[in-house]
Structure 1
Amino acid sequence: MNFIITATLKAVKQIYNEEIAESLINIQETRKEFEGQVTIVVFPITKISKKSPEETATAIGEYLVKNVAEVTAFNVVKGFLNLSIADSYWLNLFNNELLSDDFGKIKANGKKVMVEYSSPNTNKPLHLGHVRNNLLGYAVAELLKADGYEVFKVNLVNDRGIHICKSMLAWQKWGNEETPESSGLKGDHLVGKYYVIFDKEYKKEIEALVAQGQTEDEAKKNAPLIKEAQQMLLAWEAGDEEVINLWKKMNRWVYDGFAVTYKNLGVDFDQYYYESYTYLLGKDTVEEGLEKGVFFKKEDGSVWIDLTADGLDQKLVLRADGTSVYITQDLGTAQMKYDDFDMDQSIYVVGNEQDYHFKVLFLILEKLGKSWAKGLHHLSYGMVDLPSGKMKSREGTVVDADDLIAEMINTAKEKTEALGKINDFSDEEKEELYYNIGLGALKYFLLKVEPKKRLLFDPAESIDFQGNTGPFIQYTHARIKSLLAKANFKSNVILSVVEGLEPTELEMIMLLAKYPEELTNAAKAYSPAFLANYLYEVAKLFNKFYHEVPPIVKEENKTLKQHRLNICKVTADVLKAGTAILGINVPERM
């Protein structure tokens, strides 16, 4: 709508003999209860006009109707000037831009961004919280890619520490050389099984020590199992060959298991980092901070930073014995990632329980004078809850990602078979459809909610072929593809002459034209929810359009038929491209 901005600037100059900044011209889409498609908010202009908002809007409206061919009428509602734009403008926009092969493809901006997500522990399988993390991280990465960035997807795996040693020790004691092959379990499930066994046996030891008179805190520290696990961690850090070999073997099981889950979720990574390497990083950064006076050393030799002036607290960055704390390695890892990729932005997709940690991390890096620190962003997200009793996990505590995926596919199968519309599908086609619907439902339900919000996920509710769901959007796409096939649609035919537009035709063109803007807005906000809900509006409006215009396939006016088929084609393209960014596959038929 640049021509409206340009014309409004001319109108102000002509009517009031004043030049105003382009930033004062505020254009919005006209609210549905008023006539018109474009609204100019004239309140900022009244400072120049020295007239009431109504008088100012009327004067500008009269000028635009007289001098701009595309503006056919106007009406004024208080300080809002509503403009009616000629059908010919929208048709030209549709034919020249929306039907172009380049529509929705944003040019490269030359900037690089890293998105770090997943970051699992190698002592247990991925769970529901990881599912939201992975889907959010993947979608944000794809959004940024669509908005013209060069994107690097990174996974920092937490593959060391006491929690890993717990699984290792339990397998040593009670595993009887069990393997994924001998047990029939995915490797991550097998390792998770021994983490649970450790926890149960550890609790038994605590109870026994408490019964002997120790406090619970004393018992937790003195239980033989935890002491053995701590010794194993020390042996790992000392490079003990037997411990290292066991660690490598069990981690390989886990990585193989994760790979299956990642594939089923449809997420991928360009680079893996491992905490077993990065935990050694950061000490050079601490030395640098001491030299610059950013950090200070206490009498016991520990190193700290004082952030009280910034409304935070004092933060330990290196223990008195010279060993790292969590933030030490994060400082080093941040530097390493920048050295590796030289990116303009780095986004950490991590739950909101780590909000304070990232506030401190980014502030420290800024104080250290890291030029790239301003480009760091914590994409904080809320937890996911399930309705009580909806699903039980393997361990009875958190919902396993693989169980959830299987549940979604099974629910999709039940609901699809109940509709009875896929009798002519082969078994292979049916399985693919159940997968696409189940995963589409899961992804859409989790991504349509703003990341910061905690959400309640109901698997059955998410698989609904009506309403704001993934399957509704998938079904709309399949319906369009079926319609285009019946009409023997030729995609290379562009006709520029149509006598007038039906109201829903105009609405469709206006909504579809917003796709590139919606992509950019979603990317800027790091919010796939913007795009998800836009795609729902497109699907919803298309179904209205489909029911309100006369049957397209039977339309005798060839020009009108082709034009409406073109609208169908662009709608399908937008739904397919947009859902692909969210990681959702849209079937050709359902």
Structure 2
Amino acid sequence: MNIQNTIETKVKEGFLALYNTEIPSVEFQATRKEFDGDITVVVFPLLRYKKGNPVQIGEDLGKYLVETVEEITNYNVVKGFLNLVIADSFYSNFFNKINNNSTFGFVSSTTENDSRMVEYSSPNTNKPLHLGHVRNVLLGYSVSEILKASGKKVYKTQIINDRGIHICKSMLAWEKFGNGETPENTGLKGDKLVGNYYVKFDQEYKKEIATLVASGLSEEDAKKQAPLFIEAQEMLRKWEAGDKQVVTLWETMNGWVYKGFDVTYKNIGVDFDKLYYESNTYLLGKDIIEDGLKSGVFFKKEDGSVWCDLTEDGLDEKLVLRSDGTAVYMTQDIGTAIQRAKDFTDLGGMVYTVGNEQDYHFKVLFLILKKLGYSWSESLYHLSYGMVDLPSGKMKSREGTVVDADDLMDEMTNTAKEISQELGKLEGYSDKEKEELYKVIGLGALKYFILKVDPKKRILFDPKSSVDFQGNTGPFIQYTYARIQSILRKATFDYSNGSLSGVEVELHEKEKELIKQLELYPEVIQQAAKNYSPAVIANYTYDLVKEFNSFYQNVHILGEENQDKKVFRVQLSKKVADTIKSAFGLLGIQVPERM
């Protein structure tokens, strides 16, 4: 229990003892710099439960807390704010407890049936991963790591959209225009090669539409009657019928794409525990619809189509089975969710990392699963996120204007290289060391820029401004970590032992502020997990780094004459570095030992 939890418990006890009234919660904020204190209780919200002068209520509570909480040595009240002074010994004792704790902030998984499945990426096999996928995979992977740190067991998964008309478009274009091209004989990654033929299909399809329109057809009719489109539809029909030649081509080209995806995932630093394929799941759910009809969750219309009436829940009627008996996406998603719960019997909930254009879809999905009686449906979450824009404008994959994920990572590495060379920070590095460092800085800049923003917000991503060694950026935080490693290398004495336990010590204001920031880390992890928000971790890390840099500028570390204080300050610096590394690990970001 941290000091804030202790104080909250005691404020509630004090309010009950003083005013015979229970309060549900206590609001805290950091004490403003101009006032004496370490943590502030905001009195104004308590006036809902006890009418009176906020200053007097603050005085009453302050006196009660000083008498009952050993760590509180003094207090002062400014208007409706109760500022509490915490003893230095509390902070030094706290630091001694966490100093050699390598898993500080993390909670071991102890609760059964409280695991989570996190779905992310879920690409189509007709094109490479692009900038939109980058935000998706970074969010999904980071949320997985944060949930694990908070005490949950996590299964990372994706459903690969490996069937449908869009896949057939790439296949057909390769058959017609490919001349036997393969990743091996072209030197192209398989996903890029297949993506080129998706673009090629669109180019040729548009030519056919233009010809038909010129002959007198409307554009709408031309789109439907274009020979390429009709052939793609026929190819899809053959695939669904199991045509051997079509299925073989499908397996070959998807195989190229999977190898390409694997390279991209490895380079960006994400992985998966379980893969689902739409070609295996697209027929799931139909039996569930039958069961739902019998139980009254669904109803059938005159044309034979099956629907779920959600109007009483503020939504509308939702189609779950067409009149010809074929499934819709909702049917598949219902079936896939239930299949996952069967595959992982300890599953307590699922997190779907999908763009905000699907908000309504997931509201409906979760509500239907709840109506079907699945207890885990209460723990389903749509990790909805906004689009990523570039200064150059909107991306369109079929027109080939998408920002390829591999190209973006290369650009980030090159940007890091240019800026590092301009700043002249890498003297004494070998060429190999430099190239590795450029990758770490470039990817760190990309990941941090995307993850520091609340997932729901749209992002305008500017590669150049993200690789900045000043401000709220990945490289700034990485540079601070490397600075601390330099301090540790220069420490010629043994700082692994020794502590402030049992020693009466007066902490420097900057030491105290730094320990206070460290104390927040476990709660920050829990908050990030609760809100499914890596931004909470990212911005905490930035605040920790700012606090360390203020400490670094205001106190002597290696130049401190008192040996106990010197050891303590080196230990404190190391703990900050360890926490930066831990927090950045939750974001999937590496930290360099030197910069």
Q: Is the TM-score greater than 0.5?
A: yes
- What is the distance in 1 between the residues matched to 2:254 and 2:103? 45
Structure 1 residues 9-41: Cα deviation after superposition (integer angstroms, max 9, x where no partner): 564566x3x554463444443233432012223
Q: Which moved more, 1:217-226 or 1:337-346?
A: 337-346
Partner of 1:352: 356
CA distance in 2, matches of 1:311, 1:393: 35
Cα distance in 2, alignment partners of residues 314 and 11 from structure 1:
52
Number of the residue aligned with 2:431: 427
Say whether the 8 Å CA contact 1:121–1:157 is kept in structure 2. Answer: yes
Residue 446 (structure 1) aligned with residue 447 (structure 2): no
Could you say if the C-alpha distance between residues 7 and 126 of structure 1 is closer, same or farther in structure 2, counting changes exceeding 3 Å? Answer: closer
Q: Does 1:481 align with 2:485?
A: yes
Q: Distance in 2 between matches of 1:10 and 1:231?
A: 73
Q: CA deviation at 1:64?
A: 3.5
SS of residue in 1 equivalent to 2:195? helix
Partner of residue 340 from structure 2, selected from 333, 337, 341: 337
Residue 170 (structure 1) aligns with: 173
- The aligned runs of 1:572-587 (5 Å cut-off) are 572-587=577-592
Structure 2 CA distance for partners of 1:44 and 1:380, relative to 1, 3 Å? closer
Deviations 1:90-148 (A, max 9, x none): 11111123543442121224220000000000000000000000000000000000101
**SS of match in other structure, 1:23:** coil
Cα RMSD over matched residues? Answer: 2.1
2:23, 2:49 within 8 Å by CA — same for their partners in 1? no
Deviation at 1:326, TM superposition (A): 1.1
Task: Report the Cα distance in structure 2 between the residues aligned to 1:393 and 1:230, rounded to whole angstroms.
Answer: 20
Matched, 1:556 2:557: no
CA shift, 1:49, in A, is 6.5
Quickly say closer, same or farther: Cα 1:519–1:209, change in 2 above 3 A: same
For residues 160 and 106 of structure 1, do their structure 2 counterparts lie closer, same or farther at Cα, with a shift above 3 Å needed? Answer: same
* 1:210-221 paired onto structure 2 within 5 Å: 210-221=213-224
Equivalent in the alignment of 1:495: 500
Give the drift of 1:45.
Answer: 5.4
Q: Which moved more, 1:334-343 or 1:195-204?
A: 334-343
Post-superposition CA distance 1:152-199 (Å, at most 9, x none)? 000100000000000000000010111001111100000000111100
Q: Which residue of 1 aligns with 2:461?
A: 457
Q: Which aligned pairs between 1:397-416 and structure 2 lie closer than 5 A? A: 397-416=401-420
Q: For the structure 1 residues 295 and 469, does the alpha-carbon distance in structure 2 shift closer, same or farther, using more than 3 Å as the test?
A: same
Q: 1:511: which partner in 2? A: 517
What aligned pairs does 1:165-564 form with structure 2 within 5 A after superposition?
A: 165-342=168-345, 343-388=347-392, 396-488=400-492, 490-496=495-501, 497=503, 499-550=505-556, 552-564=557-569
Task: Write out per-residue CA displacement over residues 36-79 of structure 1, whole angstroms, 9 at most, x where no aligned residue.
Answer: 01222334656776642211211332343455443222111222
Q: Deviations over 1:197-242 (max 9, x none)?
A: 1000000000000001110000000000000000000000000000
Deviation at residue 359 of structure 1 after TM alignment: 1.1
Report deviation, 1:301.
Answer: 1.6
Instruction: Tell me the residue number matched to 1:97.
Output: 98
Distance in 1 of aligned mates of 2:393 and 2:427: 33
Give the SS at the match of 2:129. Answer: coil
3-state SS of 2:331 partner = helix
2:574 match: 569
Q: Within 5 A, what are the aligned runs for 1:15-94?
A: 16=18, 18-21=19-22, 23-43=24-44, 51-66=52-67, 68-94=69-95
2-structure distance, mates of 1:68, 1:194: 70
Matches within 5 A, 1:89-168: 89-110=90-111, 111-168=114-171
> Residues 504 and 353 of structure 1: is their aligned pair in 2 closer, same or farther, counting only changes over 3 Å?
same
Report the AA paired with residue 129 of structure 2.
Answer: L
Indicate conservation of the 8 Å contact 1:98/1:513, yes or no.
Answer: no
Alignment CA distance shift 1:50-1:374 (3 Å):
closer
C-alpha separation in 2, matches of 1:102 and 1:324 = 47
Q: Which runs of 5 or more residues in structure 2 are unaligned? A: none
User: What secondary structure sits across from 1:500 in the alignment?
Assistant: coil
* Aligned CA distance change for structure 1 residues 535 and 315 (closer, same or farther; 3 Å): same
Contact kept, 8 Å, 2:93 with 2:500, in 1: the verdict is no
Name the CA distance, whole Å, in 2 between partners of 1:70 and 1:381.
42
Per-residue CA deviations over 1:472-531 (Å, capped at 9, x if unaligned) read: 010000000110110135323323336322221111010011001101100100000000
Aligned-partner residue type, residue 576 of structure 1: K
2:121 counterpart letter in structure 1 = S
Cα gap change, 1:6 to 1:121, in 2 (>3 Å): closer
User: Deviation of residue 335 (structure 1)?
Assistant: 0.6
Distance (Å, rounded) in 1 between the aligned partners of 2:426 and 2:209: 57
Q: Is the deviation greater in 88-97 or in 330-339?
A: 88-97
User: What SS is found at the alignment partner of 1:344?
Assistant: strand
**Residue 327 and residue 82 in structure 1: after superposition, are their counterparts in 2 closer, same or farther (change >3 A)?**
same
Cα distance in 2 between the residues matched to 1:474 and 1:193 = 37
Structure 2 counterpart SS, 1:153 = strand
- The answer as to whether partners of 2:395 and 2:401 remain within 8 angstroms in 1 is no
CA, structure 1 residues 553+161, in 2 after alignment: closer, same or farther (shift >3 Å)?
same
Distance in 1 of aligned mates of 2:302 and 2:15: 70
Counterpart secondary structure, 2:566: helix
Alpha-carbon distance between aligned partners in 2 of 1:265 and 1:19, rounded to the nearest angstrom: 57
For the structure 1 residues 11 and 418, does the alpha-carbon distance in structure 2 shift closer, same or farther, using more than 3 Å as the test?
same
* Deviation by residue 1:432-452 (Cα, 9 ceiling, x = unmatched): 101100100000000000000
Structure 1 residue matching 2:24: 3-state secondary structure:
helix
TM-score (norm 1): 0.95
- For 1:339-396, what per-residue CA distance to the aligned partner results, in whole angstroms no more than 9, with x for missing partners? 1113111000000111111111111111122222111111110000011289999964
Normalising to structure 2: TM-score of the pair?
A: 0.95
Percent identity over paired residues:
62
Task: Quote the Cα distance in structure 1 between the aligned partners of 2:171 and 2:38.
Answer: 65
The worse-fitting range, judged by mean Cα deviation, of 282-291 and 248-257 is 282-291
Partner of 1:317, secondary structure, is strand
1:227 counterpart letter in structure 2: I
Counterparts of 1:266 and 1:120, CA distance in 2: 17
